[in-house]
A and B are shown apart, each in its own frame.
Chain A
Amino acid sequence: MSLTIDFPEVWRYLGYRGTAPEGAAARAIEEGARKVAQAARPRSVSTVVPVTFGEGNTLHLGPLAVESAALRKNLTGCEEAALFAATLGVEVDRLMARCSALGQVSQAAICQAAAAALIETYCDQVNDALRREADGWYLRPRFSPGYGDFSIQHQRELARTLRTAETIGLTVSESLMLLPTKSVTAVVGRSRTATPCHRQGCEACDKTDCPFRRG
């Protein structure tokens, strides 16, 4: 699977709003993106589980019991969901640590933005592949712990169910951080009927005053 860095996204993470970087900054961004692409070893794992809806805002995703209005809404009409996890691997974190240790904070910041863009692109690709494989199913946009009221506590159960530590080297820290840092866990609903859905990722977030908000 070939991965390319989505530069407009990198620029957005670096705070550029509607303009493209020029000159030395543009060159530095290209350099950082190249290093990130080289260091990344993207890996993912997924499994499909049945979805059942309980009382109130509760729902069950296979072994996971979740209480979340937002996820419930996202999965309305779904009989199944793919649990999904992806990571760029620990070398990307090491690259950022190395930039910082070298006193190159501009490169560290650029690499972190490029890595943030790359993990999103990678997740999009994996989700597209899931969509192609799911014959006869319609797939919802991925929904991650931390979106709305879907608690990030569930990262731990997702990681455990998918055995992410063994399969893709993705772990959850004591304080519920995903490590390596450029990683994603998510739920992708599967329904037998098409449901129009126009909110995804950034747009689905409730933090409307976010400085990095798309659009």
Chain B
Amino acid sequence: MTFLQALGRKRLFFDGGTGTLLQAQGLKGGELPETWNLLHPERLIAVHRAYLEAGSDIICTNTFGANGLKFPAGGEYDLETLVRAGVQNAQKAREEAGRSEDAFVALDIGPTGRLLKPMGDLDFEDAVSLFAQVVRAGAEAGADLVLIETMSDGYEAKAAVLAAKENCDLPVVVTTVYGADGKLLTGGTVESTVALLEGLGVDALGVNCGLGPDQMAPIARDLLQYASIPVVVNPNAGLPHTESGATRFDVGPAEFAQKMAELAGEGVHVLGGCCGTTPEHIAALKNACKEISFTETTPKGRTVVSSYARAVVIGEDPVLIGERINPTGKKKFKEALRRHDIDYLLGEGFSQEEAGAQVLDVNVGLPEIDEPALLTEAVCALQAVLPLPLQIDTSDPVAMERAMRRYNGKPMVNSVSGKEESLQAVLPLVKKYGGVVVGLTLDEGGIPETAQGRLAVAKKILDRAVAEGIRPEDIVIDPLTLTISSDPQAAQITLEALRLVRRELGLRTILGVSNVSFGLPQRELVNSHFFTLAMQNGLSCAILNPLSAGMMASWRAYRALSGLDSQCGDYIAAYGGAAAAPAPAAVPAAGLSLEDAVLQGRQESAREAAKAALASGKAPLELVDGALIPALDQVGKRFEAGTLYLPQLLMSAEAAKAAFAVVQEALSGEEGEAQGTVVLATVKGDVHDIGKNIVKVLLENYRFTVIDLGKDVAPEAIVEAALRPEVRLVGLSALMTTTVVHMEETIRLLREKAPEVKVVVGGAVLTEEYAARIGADCYAKDAMATVRYAREVYGAE
């Protein structure tokens, strides 16, 4: 019997902890346990045997920490040899125990111990490579399955699953660590993690470590509620505590077995233990489960997309997908894409989140740009700071794959159609990376004119997807909205197709509604009513502009009328009296001058004052030179004199920025030119960027163009930017002594390749002397000092 034949058909038992057992045999605190695979194979074999004899069906190789970071190439131990020995020890034990026919060897893969970018410093693809190395060695040695365990970050788990899928054909089981609050250390929920892992096509999933059986029970129940595949539960023997210096776990075999047996009765298929559990725990557990009947897992049929943090269910309650991250018909957006302004995209994301979008569509397609690179960059930037799941929207399969690969969750994918080319390109990606795919009801023959015709295309997409191994619930059909001004029946056909798709195929549906009103006046009026009709006919999600008050009103009213808004809470929150009054902080103080608004750090007032001054006929440049800059100078002087503090300085800077945005539009070509261009970066190895961001805002206040390279930037990338003809100054930031090394390296490379460029440095550990020693032209003790130096370099003073 293979592992996959057994999984889901009978209850299986994992082994328990190995650390405690190895320590009992003499493993020391600082010793790397994996080295024992070669140093003391007999002890590992004894541990595996003890578990097999206690009744474990799956034993895990002693390879939890075996990766290229802990065992680098050229080190004392060869990683592949350690992994192979780990598998061989388990196989030997299985043979000795006479369990060759019915016990399985799991290649155990633990986390890398590093945090992935952007919050950490390990690149996603580097993580995939690290895992791939272990997978190849373990699979070659003959492991029966891959167990990816103790993952506290869904993104890292995704990297490990991809490595497993791309480097072997073995079944994959993933268990993650949840806190007592039911969340991963990096913020995911049980629901979002199930969506991610099932999307990636793992064979079983569950929870291990961190908690005892008691605290794990609610998490196990959530897993059973959401998962359509077998659930694994491997708790610790209770919560750890320190007793005379040693870590101890208190839950004994009998208690452990009793609590775990309850979970087996509720449907957990695979049970075992983690830290502190022993062969006695497993033997007791197996015994306690003897009389408990086994029930097979049922498919849940839920349509779910996820981000790193949350799951969004697409079902009866219509989901809003924000459409604004899309250049179609938007001049400003196109310009932002051309100048590679990711902040502009983020701004569109934030404003839609605030307006109530639950998912964000991301489309950056323009003929002249590198869409695969930009789409991936946009997805990474958005998912770093926004908790909303994303809908990856592109017609370029290369861009689609790259973005799906880097996506931290289970995305929506927009779209596949009934065209052969599209089916062949898109469906394999959805199968591999997971996702809820939008199926457009059009094919080589165009958009069918009848509802029945669109249903037929939907059926074709469904059949092909299912043949590819995609679950029906992961397909959402778009019956397509056409314009009523050109065909009066267009809306009725769409609604009829919507009903048919739901009734005949049982699939969820999606529409981009705004097309319906093309060519008509008061489009929002038609759009919002059509939206209501579509929801009434069973629409599951809509791609729309959440900043449109009319559309949001339709949605809120529909939910309230359909019993989807408990006690009309959301409706009242949106339209009730209290919420209607704007927050006091945003009210511009009447009559405040631009100068005073900046001095007091009031953004709204500064914006209003700038508008008023322009309207009264003031020249834009006069506002800049006569009000904005003097106010900033005054704030800067007071900051340097110690009579005004950092938050006030920054609030003034933000107010000036808001005013400047108004003035900028009124400036004519030459007047609008910047004072100069400054490259800013936090150096390689350093992820602290608040200081750099402060400098950026102040430089922009003083009308410098800033090329912000971000954090953890390689010297070569800084040199490349510094070589642009307009650049005369580079600002580098480093917070730690260990990263100042890279600052020095960067300066050396700049001197060599871009000797004309000046370098200003700043950061917590730097001093005047230190800066001079590493070859900087200027040490800036704070942001104002950088501004002063920039003005000096560009001759503005």
Contact = CB atoms under 8 A, between A and B. Distances in A.
Interface in B359-387: 381, 384-386
B602 A24 contact: yes
B320 to A, nearest CB: 21
A70 interface: no
Contact of A177 (B29, B686, B689): B686
Contacts of B185: 41, 43, 89-90, 168-169
Contact of B650 (A27, A63, A109, A179): A109
B418 interface: no
A166 B741 CA distance: 30
B118 A97 contact: yes
Contacts of A168: 185
Interface string B183-204: 1011100000000000000000
A103 B351 CA distance: 13
A94 B119 contact: yes
Nearest to A17: B642
Interface residues of B, number: 70
B212 to A, nearest CB: 14
Q: Looking at A43, A94, A100, A175, which has the most chain B CB atoms within 10 Å of its CB?
A: A175
A175 B683 CA distance: 11
B245 interface: yes
Given A15-B646, A104-B654, A177 B242 contact: no
A17 to B, nearest CB: 7
Contact of A109 (B183, B646, B657, B739): B646
A17 B644 CA distance: 11
B742 interface: yes
B29 A161 contact: yes
A90 B30 contact: no
Chain A CB within 10 A, most for which of B113, B186, B642: B113
A108 B601 contact: no
B693 A171 contact: no
A203 interface: no
Interface in B120-170: 120-121, 150, 152-153
Interface stretch (A46-54, A117-125, A193-201): A46-54
A103 B603 CA distance: 12
B334 to A, nearest CB: 21
Contacts of A109: 646-647, 650, 690, 694
**Interface-central residue, A102, A106, A109, by most chain B CB under 10 Å:** A106
Contacts of A102: 346-347, 350
A25 B648 contact: yes
B77 to A, nearest CB: 16
Contact of A105 (B28, B111, B654): B654
Nearest to A155: B738
Given A90-B186, A165-B111, A165-B113, A25 B118 contact: no
B653 A175 contact: no
A1 interface: no
Nearest to A16: B645
A47 B247 contact: yes
A173 B647 contact: no
B645 A98 contact: no
A28 B648 CA distance: 10
A176 B686 CA distance: 9
* Chain B binding surface, main DSSP class: loop
B43 to A, nearest CB: 19
A24 B350 CA distance: 23
Interface in A140-182: 152, 157, 159-161, 165-169, 171-177, 179-181
A110 interface: yes
B209 interface: yes
B657 A179 contact: no
Contacts of B152: 165-166, 169
A166 to B, nearest CB: 5
Contacts of B210: 167
A8 to B, nearest CB: 14
A133 interface: yes
A93 B657 CA distance: 25
A37 interface: no
A129 to B, nearest CB: 11
Contacts of B689: 100
B688 interface: yes
Nearest to B244: A48
A14 B183 CA distance: 32
A174 B246 CA distance: 30
Contacts of B696: 105
B783 to A, nearest CB: 9
Contact of B28 (A63, A133, A152): A63
A72 to B, nearest CB: 19
B685 A174 contact: yes
Contact of B119 (A105, A133, A179): A179
Contacts of A27: 585
Interface string A58-98: 00001110000000000000001000000001110110111
B316 interface: no
Contact of A100 (B585, B646, B693): B693
A53 B112 CA distance: 33
Contact of A41 (B179, B600, B688, B737): B179
Interface in B633-675: 642, 645-648, 650-651, 653-654, 657
Contact of A175 (B118, B245, B736): B736
Given A17-B642, A179-B687, A105 B650 contact: yes
B29 A62 contact: yes
A28 B385 contact: no
Nearest to A153: B738
Nearest to B650: A106
B121 A173 contact: yes
B115 interface: yes
A56 B537 CA distance: 81
A63 to B, nearest CB: 3
A105 B350 CA distance: 16
Contacts of B654: 103-106
A96 B118 CA distance: 12
Contacts of A97: 118-119, 384-385
Given A14-B647, A105-B694, A108-B693, A179 B115 contact: yes
Given A14-B646, A103-B343, A80 B245 contact: yes
Interface in B684-738: 684-690, 693-694, 696-697, 736-738
A34 B662 CA distance: 31
B384 A94 contact: yes
B181 interface: yes
Contacts of B10: none
Contacts of B338: none
A177 B690 contact: no
Most chain B CB neighbours (cut-off 10 Å) among A89, A108, A166, A171:
A166
Contacts of A174: 114, 121, 685
A29 interface: yes
B187 A47 contact: no
B762 interface: no
Contacts of A112: 690
B451 to A, nearest CB: 44
B115 A180 contact: yes
**Interface centre among A21, A41, A133, A173, by most B CB within 10 Å?**
A173
Given A47-B242, A105-B690, A173 B120 contact: yes
B608 to A, nearest CB: 16
B30 A157 contact: yes
A83 B645 CA distance: 37
A61 B741 CA distance: 29
19 contacts: A14-B646, A15-B646, A24-B600, A25-B601, A27-B585, A47-B242, A64-B30, A103-B347, A105-B650, A105-B694, A106-B650, A161-B29, A171-B114, A173-B687, A175-B736, A175-B738, A177-B121, A179-B115, A179-B120
6 interchain residue pairs of minimum CB distance: A63-B30, A175-B685, A169-B185, A106-B650, A48-B245, A63-B29
Given A25-B648, A63-B29, A179-B115, 4 more contacts: A28-B651, A50-B245, A109-B690, A177-B738
